[in-house]
C-alpha cells in the first residue's frame, strides 16, 4: 500500500468518528498497537527534542533499502500519534518518506485539536523521521 493509500485509509477510519472524545480514544487505542520498544533504545540519541512528553524514535535500514522505525512515548495520546506516523512512514524508502505530503494530519483535524506543545512535538517527530531518511539517502548516494 502506498503512502497516500495508507493516509486515505486513516482518513476514512476517522470520518466515522465525529466526536473528538471518540477520536482521542481511537488514537490512544492505536498507540497500544505499537510493538514494544526495547529499553536499550530509550537513549538520548533516540529521544525527540521539542516534545512535551518523552518520545523515542529509532531507525534501521533494511537490506531492501527501506527504513524500519521503532517508536514509543510515555504519553498515551502522543504514543497514538506516533503510531499514526509509523503506519504511514514505517518500512518506506528514504525517497518515499521525504516525498510524502502528510495530508492526513490536517484531514483528520489532528493539528486543530492538539495543544501548541503537542503540535510542536508532532513537527519534531516528523523532522526526526525526515532526518533519518535524509541520512540514509545520503549514505546510499555515497555507496553508489
User: What is the structure's pLDDT at 46?
Assistant: 95
pLDDT, mean of residues 47-60: 90
pLDDT tens digits, residue range 90-139? Answer: 999 999 999 999 999 999 998 888 888 888 889 999 999 999 999 999 88
> pTM for the whole thing?
0.93
* H or E element in which residue 60 lies: strand 55-61
CA distance 111 to 66: 28
Distance CA 144, CA 139 (A): 9
Specify the pLDDT at position 52: 76
Residues belonging to the active site: 51
Q: Residue-wise over 18-41: b if at least 16 C-beta within 10 A, else e?
A: eeeeebeebbbebbeebeebeeee
Q: How far apart are the C-alpha atoms of 115 and 134, rounded to whole Å?
A: 28
Amino acid at each position: 500500500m502506498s503512502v497516500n493509500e495508507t493516509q486515505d485509509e486513516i482518513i476514512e477510519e476517522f470520518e466515522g468518528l465525529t466526536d473528538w472524545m471518540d477520536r482521542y480514544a481511537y488514537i490512544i487505542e492505536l498507540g497500544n498497537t505499537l510493538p514494544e520498544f526495547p529499553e536499550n533504545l530509550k537513549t538520548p540519541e533516540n529521544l525527540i527534542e521539542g516534545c512535551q512528553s518523552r518520545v523515542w524514535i529509532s531507525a534501521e535500514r533494511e537490506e531492501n533499502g527501506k527504513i524500519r522505525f521503532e517508536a514509543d512515548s510515555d504519553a498515551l495520546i502522543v504514543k497514538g500519534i506516533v503510531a499514526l506516523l509509523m503506519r504511514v512512514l514505517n518500512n518506506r524508502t528514504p525517497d518515499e518518506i521525504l516525498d510524502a505530503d502528510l495530508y492526513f494530519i490536517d484531514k483528520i483535524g489532528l493539528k486543530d485539536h492538539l495543544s501548541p506543545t503537542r503540535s510542536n512535538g508532532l513537527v519534531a517527530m516528523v523532522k526526526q523521521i525526515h532526518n533519518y531518511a535524509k541520512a540514509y539517502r545520503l549514505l546510499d548516494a555515497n555507496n553508489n
